[in-house]
A and B are shown apart, each in its own frame.
Chain A
Amino acid sequence: MSKILGIDLGTTFSAMAFVEGGEPKIIENKEGSRTTPSVIAVSKKGERLVGTIARRQQVTNPENTVFAVKRLIGRRYDDREVQDAKKSLPYEIRKEEKGDGVEIKLGEKWHKPAEISAMILQKLKKDAEEKIGEKITDAIITCPAYFDDAQRKETKVAGEIAGFNVRRVINEPTAAALAYGLSKKKDHQIVVYDFGGGTFDISILDVGDDTIEVKGTGGDSYLGGEDFDNRIVNWLIESFKNDYGIDLSKDSLALQRLKEEAEKAKKELSTTMQTDINIPFITSDDSGPKHLNYALSRAKFESLVSDLIERSIELAKKVITDSGIKIEDIEEVVLVGGQTRMPKIQEKAQELFNKEPNKEINPDEVVAIGAAIQGGILGGDVKDVLLLDVIPLSLGIETLGGKNTVLIEKNTTVPTQKTEVFSTASDSQPSVQIHVLQGERTMAQDNKSLGQFILDGIPPAPRGVPQVEVSFDIDSNGILNVSAKDKGTGKSQSIRIEGTCGISDEEVERMKKEAEEYAQADKEKEELIDIKNQSDQVIYSGEKMLKDSGDKISADKKETLENAIKELKEAQKEDSTEKIKEKLEALNTAAQEVGKEIHEKSQQESQEQQSSTGEENKEGKEETQEGDYEEKGENEEGEEESKNN
């Protein structure tokens, strides 16, 4: 069965998505954008242009460039909305010859709004087919919740003209709720706060057993993100006029640059507290070029648009009162539309509804994604054919210093397998203990112990040399097999643990919550262990230095090194990361000094030796000596603790 396309047919922009591998995905158009301007034009040569290209030529061809057709679809010519729209639209519209609908002139022909919408849908269909590589016949199209039967019917007709089998026309707020999976929450009241580019819609939904009912709608079809941009543009024009006495609103290029920068500044202020609007050479007069440079703070921007936000909040309150629902009965708030990225809007919405709003999904795409999910449900894509489980908590082993080293992260889909190489913590360590842990905490003791076993018979070797390969294998039933193999001898041991997925939901939640609560304390503990482990390593090499090359070190340096080792060992007994760090640094410096001395001495010795052997080998036969080198691998990092030692 072919894919069902989910389409958000918007007033200014449209977007499309489909379900692939059980996940909804936005499809980019041919130009590589995730949204397509809902603009259609017929060029002077009679070519039909759709989307970005149509918008680019709008100035040259205003009477044959149709946009915001959604405001006209399914309406009667005499409707107040049509008459309002007519005032601001540069293209011609008239009353239908046979009927009371609307007709739009495009090129030489008169079209119904549905035919124009169909042209947008046709482009989306074609682009989607090219992207996916297969024919698409079915679609779900969204429309505002306030659309009446005639508008919905016309939307459906638009889809059919475009060549789709329109499976459903669903409400935009319903689609947004679907995208957040809220349709599963029975008896929930949901508010969808949709602040788009040109319109503001507020809807209240009631989730029933099988249906999502619209309890109330409202908004303002001429309030949107563009108004916010314009406020910044006007502020810039005013400021520039005050400072330089030049009116930029008369200069088309300057205005264009101001608009672009204003939109950019608005977006930036969603993440930063202040932004610089810097437009060099914006204009010039007799005294030379003029540059525009103003800093806009988030607070200033908020004050510029406070009435727009207030208005949206008042409209929301009105819809709630009209629908007879109490604010405290609202369980979920969903944010839709790019303008809802503005922190002040999120804050105000949260304040009004006393709920953290759902905003994780890209607000420009959430409606198309919801439509795709609806398509997925109808097409059977969303229903999992093969249920693949995930492990709810991380699995790991205990390593040096009582640390929990995770091998398989939580939320990994099973079956899966993971292997890592560990080593010993001390010289001639004969065995390692593998202690299998489940949980998110840093310290082994704070996690659930699933089992342990010992791998022995490791031949004597310095610490860090033996290689012990630890493998975790979980099958589809959640049965965990942990094995450890000494790569040197090939000897191995393993353990089988059942029911790693069978842990109760409450327990999983408790463990996850604990991990969050103790995150900071755990981090500190982890740092302490790491620094202690690092100190161990440095003490070990310092002592080795003293043992191996003690005769080459001068008495005072030797004493400094010995003292530094002693002090670091003392510091290790106290659990202070800072103190250990300080002493570790001191030991490192002392060891470097000693190392330098040893190096110099051995160079001196080899020179002396060379001059004596050089005389013997006067024929000039050069001997190449292969230098000893040490390879440092991951062993150093993950040394296996042995409690048996």
Chain B
Amino acid sequence: MTDKKILLKKMKRKLELYKKEREEYLDGWKRAKADLVNYKKDELKRTEKMVDREKANFLTKILLILDNFNRAEEEAKKSDENDGLVEGFLKIKEQVEALLSEEHVKEIACLGEDFNPLYHEAIEMIDEESLESGKIAEVLQKGYMYKDEVLRPAKVKVIK
């Protein structure tokens, strides 16, 4: 009888141990499964973000071409010999602008605005009495927003 009791006690203890172990394993397994599901969700978000970032990188490269179109346009304005060829080039520039606009790229307002490092990068400070200090006097390179983020800050000259 006592032997049986001891055996029963031992068995009960073992059962408790196994139950505990079972709980631990089940918990571990559930956690592993949940980790995977969460990882997948995170990875999806990360991938989406990465795609967006890659797109933004690519759009930034296009901006460099547009910058040069703008510079060419400025130069063309100085000359009287503007012909159809220049007009044609400016049409190409418009196409590039339209493409950027379709991709949700918007120009950042600068001229006459208060300098704001969130959107502008100061290249030089200049004296100009007609304007208030801290205002933007000249835009050296246009800045752009992509969706809600700064794709590239505008490079500007600021009034001292």
Contact = CB atoms under 8 A, between A and B. Distances in A.
Interface string A286-298: 0011000000000
Given A57-B115, A60-B125, A280-B68, A32 B28 contact: no
B149 A280 contact: no
A66 to B, nearest CB: 15
Nearest to B42: A20
Contacts, number: 55
Nearest to A44: B134
A130 to B, nearest CB: 14
A57 B155 contact: no
Contact of B158 (A53, A60, A289): A60
A345 B6 CA distance: 75
Given A21-B39, A59-B122, A59-B124, A54 B117 contact: yes
Interface residues of A, number: 21
A59 B72 CA distance: 28
Contacts of A21: 35, 39
B117 A43 contact: yes
A53 B118 contact: yes
Nearest to B126: A252
Contact of A281 (B72, B121, B122, B153): B72
B115 A32 contact: no
Given A21-B39, A32-B53, A54-B117, A60 B72 contact: no
A54 B141 CA distance: 19
A49 B115 CA distance: 14
Contacts of B121: 56-57
Interface string A33-45: 0000000000110
Contacts of B134: 44, 60
A43 B120 CA distance: 14
Contact of A56 (B39, B75, B153): B153
Among B35, B118, B121, the most chain A Cβ lie within 10 Å of the Cβ of: B121
Contacts of B74: 281
A252 B68 contact: no
A289 B122 CA distance: 25
Interface string B71-101: 1101100010000000000000000000000
Contacts of B140: 253, 256
A59 B75 contact: no
Contacts of B158: 59-60
Interface in A477-519: none
B8 interface: no
Contacts of B53: 32
A43 B39 CA distance: 41
Contacts of A644: none
A256 B155 contact: yes
A57 B122 contact: yes
A134 B117 CA distance: 29
A288 B118 CA distance: 35
Nearest to A282: B71
B77 to A, nearest CB: 11
A280 B74 CA distance: 12
Contacts of A252: 123-124
A58 interface: yes
Contacts of B125: 59-60
B31 to A, nearest CB: 10
Contacts of B71: 280-281, 289
A42 to B, nearest CB: 12
Interface of B: 28, 32, 35, 39, 53, 68, 71-72, 74-75, 79, 115, 117-118, 120-125, 134, 140-141, 149, 153, 155, 158
Given A60-B122, A289-B71, 15 more contacts: A32-B149, A43-B117, A53-B117, A56-B153, A57-B122, A59-B122, A59-B158, A60-B134, A252-B123, A253-B141, A256-B123, A280-B68, A280-B71, A386-B28, A386-B32
